[in-house]
Amino acid sequence: MDQKIIDLYDDFTHGGMNRRSFLDRLVALAGSTAAATTLLSVLQNNYAQAQTIPENDPRISAEMVDIPGVKGLKGYLVKPKAASGKLPAVVVIHENRGLNPHIKDVTRRLASEGFLALGIDLLSPAGGTPEDEDKGRDMIGELRQEDINASDKTAVAYLKGRPDSTGKVGAVGFCWGGGAVNALAVVDPDLAAGVAYYGGQPKAEEVPKIHAAMLLHYGGLDERVNAGIPAYEAALKKSGKTYEIYVYEGANHAFNNDTNAARFNKEASTLAWTRTVAFLKKHLA
């Protein structure tokens, strides 16, 4: 697919334009309404594919739970059934559409790797993640950063205090959620490890506050987010933080999302996931 079309969709999904403007520009790039309609089906997520690990997989148990501390806050808690003893824990922070089937699947994947995994729904205090993705994006846009941080810190505290947790808690986030992981690392000294997939970076002056080990994944074609890498890395290095940065050449923003045919990159996704699991096992041990 033409990179201009992928970049246009990325601009739309991150609030750069409304849906009407996006569709008009997509038609112009595609050459016709029929061609644009075909492209749209590829650009949008297909959640029928969000079953890498089904909910009824015998290796795991999954349930929605209330997270005490923030009114209405809920999460998708998944853990391995065969685990004996306490488990390292991970908060999974969704993209800017809420806790959708893909992020639930990612949460199940982490549980299958031996983690106590909690997919937080940051829209739950406002009624929960809607099925309509455009509405979900609008709701995300209404959240205040201080409330996002407070909910994420509450999720970390919840996992840290559970009797089936070792007390070591990490966080993994994607896209908007990647930025949320970076922000969480700044405000929560209890976070032991943070993994941000193509997430916006904190200000350089905030980096000294980070206590967590950080793993940062970026798509080589993601110019919008990648513009912030040099300043972030310089600040991490200057502050003596533990971090790893990987840029996957030829990969787009959202390269991990296997429900999105236009942007999913299997090679980059597989390598990044292998690194993610190893990083979390190392720093949550």
- Among the residue ranges 72-76, 131-135, 263-267, the one predicted with the least confidence is 131-135
Residues 25 and 142 placed together within one structural domain of the fold: no
User: What digits encode the pLDDT tens for the residues 85-120?
Assistant: 999 999 999 999 999 999 999 999 999 999 999 999
Q: Whole-prediction pTM value?
A: 0.93
In whole numbers, what is the pLDDT of the chain averaged over residues? 94
Residues 248 and 174 placed together within one structural domain of the fold: yes
Residues 206 and 248 placed together within one structural domain of the fold: yes
3-state secondary structure the chain: CCHHHHHHHHHHHCCCCCHHHHHHHHHHHHCCHHHHHHHHHHHCCCHHHCCCCCCCCCCEEEEEEECCCCCCCEEEEEEECCCCCCEEEEEEECCCCCCCHHHHHHHHHHHHCCCEEEEEECCHHHCCCCCCHHHHHHHHHCCCHHHHHHHHHHHHHHHHHCCCEEEEEEEEEECHHHHHHHHHHHHCCCEEEEEEECCCCCCHHHHHHCCCEEEEEEECCCHHHHCCHHHHHHHHHHCCCCEEEEEECCCCCCCCCCCCCCCCCHHHHHHHHHHHHHHHHHHCC
Residues 19 and 114 placed together within one structural domain of the fold: no
Residue 37, domain extent: 1-44
What is the number of domains present in the chain?
2
Q: What is the CATH classification number for the domain harbouring 134? A: 3.40.50.1820
Residues 54 and 39 placed together within one structural domain of the fold: no
Residues 99 and 156 placed together within one structural domain of the fold: yes
Residues 67 and 28 placed together within one structural domain of the fold: no
Residues 112 and 18 placed together within one structural domain of the fold: no
Residues 39 and 107 placed together within one structural domain of the fold: no
Residues 34 and 56 placed together within one structural domain of the fold: no
